[in-house]
Amino acid sequence: MEISKSLEPPDAQHYLVCGTEDCEKNCQFYCNDCHQPLCEQCRDEHQKNKKTKNHEVVPYKQRKRKLPVEKCMIHPTKDIDLLCEECQIPICSKCTATKEHRGHLFTDLEIVFAEKCSLCHVEITKIRSYFEPTSQDLKKEIVGDVTEIKKIMKDIRTSMKAEAESVKKLVDTVTSDKIKHVDKIEQSLLETLSGQNKTMDAYINYLNDLIKTLYSYLSPSDIENLTFALKSENLMIQPIQETFKPVLPVFTAGQYSKADIAKLLGRLNIPNTKPENRKIKPMETALKQLKLTGKQRKQDSEKSDVKQTLSLSSSVTKVREYTVPGVDYVYHISLGKSVRLWVSGNFGNLVQADLEGNQLQKIQTSGGDEGYHTVTQDGDLIYTDNLNKVINRITTDNTITEFIETGDWNPISIHSSQINGDLLVGMRKYGDSEGKVTRYNKTGTEIQNIQRDNKGQALYGTPHYITENINGDVCVSDIAKHAVVVVDKSGQHRFSYTGQGSRFDPDGICTDVLGHIMVCDIRSDTVHLLDQDGQFLSLLLTLQQEYPYSVCVDDENNLCVGYATSFVVEVYKYLQ
């Protein structure tokens, strides 16, 4: 890579070296008089030199910009190096003697140039730290609005089509009913006409019979009967029976228009309200947060440096132990601020203690032998109440509030993410064979449910203890599944660890800065060590005490272990 000795532009990423001849060391300082970058050693020599000891040497970022060389248009042999304060124009030293500038005040143009450069850098900082990122955020918000609008309009179209189909079905139903009514009228009319037809048939038969009778009277051999017939009233022909033409129905088409149909359907209205301005964070607040972010980056960098220097030790050594008053057993440990810890024991006792074994606080809960409490990034204690199906928060001023209601589900384990502050809650419904993990954000809004894998199989039975790894994996110790179940941050199943051959009864679980997973096995009284991909590394601890129930890693990267048989927390060094 080419090494440049020129002054770097604001975004330069090259390696800036000392400007002293034959010195290739990294530049840290700058001589404002010589306009020369200096390393620490050359800085010291520069300030010892008689010719340069009075020069202004500053950290490189505080340097003054060198004035660009520009010749005077009036005196071409002279450089422009002064500013006439009255005329506000740059001039050379020879111009000061001209009548145009006689009696005026002059300022070193290099000082003015340095001030202007400094102001430019201030404005550049504002642009980069506030205006540009804020604009990018607004752009993201606009893109989000575009997505939301498309979704809403799609839903509206779907609703309109569904409504139209509903109206069509109603029209079909009404039409069907009317057609059935037409069928009934037709049947009635046809039955009437059929009756009339039968009457006519009977009358025609009567006439035919009468004709036959009259023909019989015409026989020359039966004059007596003919005479009788002509005198008899029997010769009278019965009149034709009256029939009537049916009154036929007339169909009158409905009177409707497109507007009438439109009235039947829903309408799309745009509220007559003034659009709300997008919220823009004040620059002062943004810059303050930027400073905090920079501090966080520094802390993260320090953690990263620690991580790079750590590795698994060849041996595990016990370094100390804590006695926790107020509990008989240590079912779960949550580390708080100021080197304090919360420990839950039997009968729902939850105790806060310091490392000298002094009880600081004690509260009564409905919890048992599960990881039902955690400490947030802000130092608040969060714990579950599985009987009342709520999650409580205790703030640093000891105020207890119901933070989240979990509906039909009983919350049994909880963990506060050290990555983003989310709450991971293991739940189950008593009587059911399945559990789930629900993610809430800092404000208690539900943002994710993890319950089944890609094949539709239940991931959890009883999520007894829960934690999060450095890569965002959600690690659950499931006593019902006899397994450690791990999913990624999107909820996709990564792996399940079921021990080393014999029955595996996992309880307390934690992770460390290297991504290791450590889980207690109360069946074999051991602590299993896994890498972040679920590969078994070793039995980290083979313990003398029975029932190791809880584990956590303290600020010194030591492993703390609690037991279901004592009120002692043992601390082990396992990294070097």
DSSP-assigned letters across all residues of 25-90: SBP-EEETTTTEEE-HHHHHHHHHSTTTTTS-EEEGGGPPPPPPP-B-SSSTTSB--EEETTTTEE
**DSSP state, 348?**
G
Domain boundaries, the chain: 1-63, 115-235, 279-309, 310-575
Q: How confident is the model at residue 231 (pLDDT cuts 50, 70, 90)?
A: low
**DSSP state, 127?**
I
pLDDT of residue 291 exceeding 70, the answer is: no
Lowest pLDDT segment from 43-47, 159-163, 209-213, 296-300: 296-300
**Tokens standing for residue 357:** 């074994």
pLDDT of residue 2 exceeding 80, the answer is: no
Check if the beta carbon of residue 390 is closer than 8 Å to that of residue 402.
Answer: yes
Query: What's residue 116's pLDDT?
Result: 85
- What is the arithmetic mean of pLDDT over 189-200? 94
Q: How confident is the model at residue 78 (pLDDT cuts 50, 70, 90)?
A: very high
Check the CA dihedral 97-99-105-109 and report its sign.
negative
Check the CA dihedral 558-560-561-567 and report its sign.
positive
**Cα–chain center distance at 273:** 30
Query: What's residue 301's pLDDT?
Result: 54
- Cα angle 185, 186, 191; round to 5: 100
pLDDT of residue 275 exceeding 80, the answer is: yes
Q: What percent of the chain is modeled with pLDDT above 90? A: 48
pLDDT of residue 411 exceeding 90, the answer is: yes
pLDDT of residue 281 exceeding 90, the answer is: no
Query: What's residue 3's pLDDT?
Result: 35
Q: What percent of the chain is modeled with pLDDT above 70? A: 90
User: Regarding beta strands 536-542 and 526-530, do their DSSP bridges make them parallel or antiparallel, or are they unpaired?
Assistant: antiparallel
Cα–Cα distance, 14 to 26 (Å, whole number): 11
Query: What's residue 479's pLDDT?
Result: 93
Q: How confident is the model at residue 1 (pLDDT cuts 50, 70, 90)?
A: very low
pLDDT tens digits along 297-348: 555 555 555 555 788 888 899 999 988 988 989 999 998 876 789 999 988 8
- What is the arithmetic mean of pLDDT over 389-404? 88
Q: How confident is the model at residue 294 (pLDDT cuts 50, 70, 90)?
A: low
Query: What's residue 307's pLDDT?
Result: 57
Check the CA dihedral 9-14-20-22 and report its sign.
negative
Query: What's residue 338's pLDDT?
Result: 67
Lowest pLDDT segment from 10-19, 399-408, 437-446: 10-19
Lowest pLDDT segment from 181-190, 253-262, 324-333, 516-525: 253-262
Cα–Cα distance, 462 to 413 (Å, whole number): 9
**Tokens standing for residue 320:** 């100390």
Alpha-helical (H) ranges within 409-563 are: none
State if pTM tops 0.85. no
Cα–Cα distance, 444 to 390 (Å, whole number): 11
Q: Which helix (H) or strand (E) holds 134?
A: helix 132-217
- What is the arithmetic mean of pLDDT over 109-131? 83
Q: How confident is the model at residue 271 (pLDDT cuts 50, 70, 90)?
A: confident
Considering only CA atoms, which of 338, 386, 380, 351 is closest in space to residue 366? 386
How many other β-carbons are positioned within 10 Å of the β-carbon of residue 297? Answer: 10
Lowest pLDDT segment from 110-119, 151-160, 405-414: 110-119
Domain 310-575: top CATH class? mainly beta
Query: What's residue 8's pLDDT?
Result: 39
Check if the beta carbon of residue 80 is closer than 8 Å to that of residue 90.
Answer: yes
**Tokens standing for residue 202:** 């009977």
| Average pLDDT along the chain | 86
pLDDT of residue 166 exceeding 70, the answer is: yes
- What is the arithmetic mean of pLDDT over 548-574? 92
Q: Does domain 1-63 have CATH number 3.30.160?
A: yes
Q: Please give the radius of gyration of the chain, using alpha carbons only, rounded to the nearest integer.
A: 48
Q: Which helix (H) or strand (E) holds 264?
A: helix 258-264
pLDDT of residue 419 exceeding 50, the answer is: yes
Query: What's residue 15's pLDDT?
Result: 56
Residues with Cβ within 8 Å of residue 332, at least 6 apart in sequence = 343, 344, 370, 371, 372, 373, 465, 508, 549, 550, 562
Alpha-helical (H) ranges within 431-494 are: none
Check if the beta carbon of residue 310 is closer than 8 Å to that of residue 575.
Answer: yes
- What is the arithmetic mean of pLDDT over 102-121? 86
Considering only CA atoms, which of 12, 130, 126, 108 is closest in space to residue 61? 12
- What is the arithmetic mean of pLDDT over 397-408? 89
pLDDT of residue 13 exceeding 60, the answer is: no
Residues with Cβ within 8 Å of residue 525, at least 6 apart in sequence = 542, 543, 545, 546, 547, 548
pLDDT of residue 5 exceeding 50, the answer is: no
Q: How confident is the model at residue 11 (pLDDT cuts 50, 70, 90)?
A: very low
**Cα distance from N-terminal residue to C-terminal residue, the chain:** 37
Query: What's residue 331's pLDDT?
Result: 95
Query: What's residue 355's pLDDT?
Result: 81
